[in-house]
């Protein structure tokens, strides 16, 4: 099996850029237009949970405006992913023709970084979705690449998730954060003296039943999309049920001894231990850390301290629009050269939103020998750049 880095060495670095094209006989521009179409189709399939999940989680509050908002967010997310992938491959073709060979910086880091500048055009909701998904994946890949101790420590991962749980749920319960988190316990009334144990138990049962349904729906998405019910595992069901159930039990036990904020904080921390029920803990831990940082940063940005000029300047930096190109370019680079360091979610995101072109290229480079690759390339007709 030939390593992907061999594409940068003679004689493979001199092969025609037609190996990047989805179909034989396409020019670079025709391949770009074809990729743009196919990427929209594959991205629409990949992002279908983005359309379904918010509707499932908010099925009690569905309205016409909510459905339209979710559909708009879904269409914009799929379209931006399609454009970024198509432009990346087009720029890789340009790099091959400009340098008369494949060079490291153009395969594929720089093209992806340039294409990802489309993030400057993303509306806020789509921007938040991309940065919240891409940044944790890049963080996890970095940790795996450098093999830091945290990667092999389930206890440390669980502790970090529990701390993140306290941060996010605190601001959620005080109505200062309304973004996504795994659970959203109903806020207690300020006067809890009339809030009897029976009322708390009834509310807890209603919430537990709701999250059991949400978890079951999430666990069924993957088997249904792959049309193989043998893949069904109640991972999210057990996690969500354990998370909300433990939160409500601890809250119930502590409410008569502590005030609401203290009881919620301790319940948030202890219930975060349900994280141990997950299999891909590192992925969820990275997501939790990024979300907690976003929550804290949003509170910093909401403060009205105009006297601190340094803080005011830092708050004006568009961190999300700067992070997306660097993180996505790094992930695509890792996908091509060190795929074992990618988690399954990042790998499927990169490959599925580009109509499996990335894996198709890796399969070609992965042929048993250089001669086998050259023979496969020779069967592909050489074409022009434009038409």
Tens digits of residue pLDDT in 28-48 = 899 999 999 999 999 998 888
> Exposure pattern of 347-363 as b/e (b: 16+ CB <10 Å)?
bebbbbbbbebbbebbe
| pLDDT of res. 383 | 65
Residues near 380 by beta carbon (within 8 Å), at least 6 away in sequence: 16, 18, 19, 21, 24
Higher per-residue pLDDT: 256 or 184: 184
pLDDT surpasses 60 at 63: yes
The tokens 């830091």 sit on which residue? Answer: 148
Tens digits of residue pLDDT in 174-205 = 889 988 899 999 887 666 666 677 878 888 88
Alpha-carbon distance 219 to 270, whole Å?
24
Q: How many CB atoms lie within 10 A of CB 221?
A: 16
Instruction: Give the confidence band of 331 by pLDDT, cuts at 50, 70, 90.
Output: very high
> Mean pLDDT over residues 306-313, rounded?
76
Tens digits of residue pLDDT in 136-156 = 999 999 999 999 999 999 999
């Amino acid at each position: 099996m030939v390593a992907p880095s061999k594409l940068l060495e003679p004689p493979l670095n001199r092969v025609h850029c037609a190996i990047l094209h989805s179909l034989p006989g396409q020019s670079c521009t025709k391949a770009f237009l074809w990729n743009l179409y196919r990427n929209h189709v594959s991205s629409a399939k990949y992002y279908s949970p983005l359309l379904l999940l918010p509707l499932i989680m908010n099925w009690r509050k569905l309205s016409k405006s909510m459905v339209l908002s979710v559909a708009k967010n879904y269409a914009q997310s799929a379209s931006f992913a399609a454009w970024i992938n198509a432009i990346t491959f087009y720029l890789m073709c340009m790099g091959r023709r400009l340098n008369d060979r494949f060079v490291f910086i153009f395969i594929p880091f720089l093209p992806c970084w340039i294409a990802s500048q489309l993030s400057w055009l993303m509306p806020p909701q789509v921007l938040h979705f991309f940065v919240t998904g891409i940044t944790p994946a890049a963080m996890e890949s970095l940790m795996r690449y450098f093999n830091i101790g945290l990667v092999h420590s389930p206890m440390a991962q669980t502790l970090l998730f529990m701390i993140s749980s306290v941060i996010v749920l605190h601001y959620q319960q005080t109505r200062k954060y309304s973004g996504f988190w795994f659970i959203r316990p109903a806020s207690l009334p300020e006067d809890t003296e009339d809030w009897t144990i029976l009322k708390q138990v009834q509310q807890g049962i209603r919430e537990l039943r709701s999250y059991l349904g949400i978890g079951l729906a999430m666990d069924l998405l993957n088997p249904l999309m792959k049309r193989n019910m043998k893949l069904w595992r109640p991972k999210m069901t057990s996690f969500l049920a354990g998370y909300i159930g433990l939160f409500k039990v601890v809250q119930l036990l502590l409410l008569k001894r502590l005030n609401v904020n203290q009881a919620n904080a301790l319940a948030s921390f202890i219930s975060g231990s349900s994280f141990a029920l997950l299999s891909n803990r590192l992925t969820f831990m990275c997501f939790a850390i990024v979300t907690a940082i976003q929550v804290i940063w949003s509170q910093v940005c909401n403060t009205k301290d105009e006297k601190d000029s340094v803080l005011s300047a830092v708050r004006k930096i568009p961190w999300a629009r700067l992070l997306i190109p660097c993180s996505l370019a790094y992930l695509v680079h890792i996908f091509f050269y060190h795929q074992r360091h990618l988690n399954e979610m990042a790998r499927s995101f990169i490959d599925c939103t580009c109509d499996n072109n990335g894996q198709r290229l890796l399969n070609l480079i992965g042929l048993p020998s250089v001669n086998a690759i050259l023979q496969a390339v020779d069967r592909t007709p050489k074409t022009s750049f434009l038409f």
